[in-house]
Chain A
Amino acid sequence: MVTLRGTRDGYGDALVELGKSNDRIAVLDADLSRSTRSFDFGSLFPERFVEMGIAEQDMVSTAAGLCLGGFIPFANSFAIFIVGRAFDQTRQQIALAKLNVKLAGSSAGLTQGPDGATHQSVIDVSLMRSLPNMTVIVPSDAEEARLATIAAAEYVGPVYLRLSRYDTPVWREPGRPFAVGEAEVRRPGRDITIASTGVLYGKVLEAVDILASEGIEAEVLNVHTVKPIDAAAIIASASRTGAILTFEEHSIIGGLGSAVAEVLAEGRCNVPFRRMGVLDTFGESGTAEQLLELHGLTPARIVETACELIAAK
């Protein structure tokens, strides 16, 4: 029986690990610690856990103060709130000031599910990517999230971790090291590159298997760090395969798709290219799978798109 977990779970595990190994780690939450998985840290290290109540703007600025007072703060909320509601605080006091604060946005994307459009963040990567000095990491499974969280603590500077409540198996091979900013060729292929970020990685693997059964070898590029984007790895892979599509549960405006488009255009890598994601629209209530189906974020649509791109070579 494969254990299914969300990236938020790996994050929560890492916070506990970090809490034990580093007494400068502090955590702030805004009444969502059960959901963001910071609850265990709060139970084990109450003197370094600050419950901010339902006040995300206050939380982010208070995190800046904790950092200035010598801590490495992790502030959590749902992605839509910590990014959207506290954006100006993040801009002025964390990104501009280059403070060593980590922001974790949980329940990101359409896979948030039934709570609907108000709670489904499909714009957070776009916003955070626009901030100078900000590193943006979108782990694809619980183990990658754990490693990314530990890496974020070691990295000196502002980091945004995009997390999810969408439970999946762990795809990441045991022992594979995690390096901020390095895209990973998880599966080599020669016909097309599928660059994905985040928890829909399993959809990509399913699509790759279907493509393989049709004799098409797709290369899988896991772009866990959307900023700074690994331009060299993207250009190298796209040049090798001759076609590339991006896949994410985020708006095609400003997310991985945009980042890759920028890299391809400026890198004169003129290959057939398509962005798959949320097509400049909001979500709605539904189950995660229903919403992914509705927005075309399925293995079947990846296969279809991949075939179109290969035909266009």
Chain B
Amino acid sequence: MISEVTPAPGETARPRVKDLIRMAAEVRLQIVRSMGPGKFHHFGGSLSETDLMVALYHYKLRLRPEDPTWPDRDRFILSKGHSVPAQDVCMARLGFFPLDDLGGLKTLGSPLQGHPDMRKTRGLEANTGSLGMGLSVSNGLALAARARGLDYRVFVMMGDGELMEGQVWEAAMTAGHYRLDHVTAIIDRNGLLTSGRTEDRKGLEPLADKWRAFRWNVLEIDGHDMAAICDALDTATGTPGKPTVIIASTVKARGVPFLENQASSHNAMITPEQYEEAVRILQANLTALENS
């Protein structure tokens, strides 16, 4: 387990774990602010994946926000497209588009759509939303890199409920067969579907064994432990010969107690009073981290 993130040779210094934890607190606050009260938004998945998203965008991915089509950039596909608000915030923070755009989330004419649209949002790599397709796209990107001799890495985040889509397992078989070690899949295992617990509705376990059976390297972590996330991402890209999946245990709507760990927070509307409460809690958490 790493305590401090040290840059690899030739790379610029990357944030320390402590800084990433603070950034995640900022991002959670920005997510809730971009969603606001009185509208339905995907709070649950956006907040459960936040630490993973921050580790990807602020630690792991090789990107040039000023040049979003840089050929050697790492690719990230958010297969669970409904939780794009967390990605939007991270991308805005990096300068892919103005932070002010976050206020237009899901409104008419906004570059920030309800689900990822690569033709509307600068820096998105693919269209997702209809679930189960992102891993296949990632495999295609990795196959293209292999055929062209490029060295970029491909990261894809999926929801655990999404794993009920059959195409995920077609793609898992493809990546295993072709030994796509440039593909890293991250599963936001918050345990909840819209309709209830995954294990009650249609059980996924033994999940790690399923991926192993499909010839994947499997890492299991706490998806809110920033050091563990960074460590797992580095382990994944350092494992040759097979793709790696990181099964990250998370809490749906993490950070907003009255929404946490509830299926109903998947797509929820909060009142102005709840909104103020959520902002107050997230701000207090951030302030505590800044003062620590």
Contact = CB atoms under 8 A, between A and B. Distances in A.
A26 B144 CA distance: 9
A175 B130 CA distance: 45
B127 interface: yes
A97 B125 CA distance: 10
A93 B118 CA distance: 10
Nearest to B137: A65
Interface in A49-94: 50, 52-53, 55, 57-58, 60-71, 73, 88-89, 91-93
B171 A93 contact: no
A172 B114 CA distance: 48
Query: Which secondary structure dominates where chain A touches chain B?
Result: helix
Interface string B116-137: 0111000001111110111011
A91 B136 CA distance: 15
A68 to B, nearest CB: 6
Contact of A57 (B125, B136, B140, B144): B136
Interface in A85-116: 88-89, 91-93, 96-98
A66 B140 CA distance: 4
B147 interface: yes
Contacts of A53: 170, 173-174, 177
A93 B138 contact: no
A162 interface: no
A92 B148 contact: no
Nearest to A93: B127
A92 B140 contact: no
A65 B170 contact: no
A51 to B, nearest CB: 9
Contacts of B133: 57, 61, 89, 92-93
A48 interface: yes
B141 A52 contact: no
The 4 closest A-B pairs by CB, nearest first: A65-B140, A69-B144, A61-B136, A58-B170
Interface of A: 26, 47-48, 50, 52-53, 55, 57-58, 60-71, 73, 88-89, 91-93, 96-98
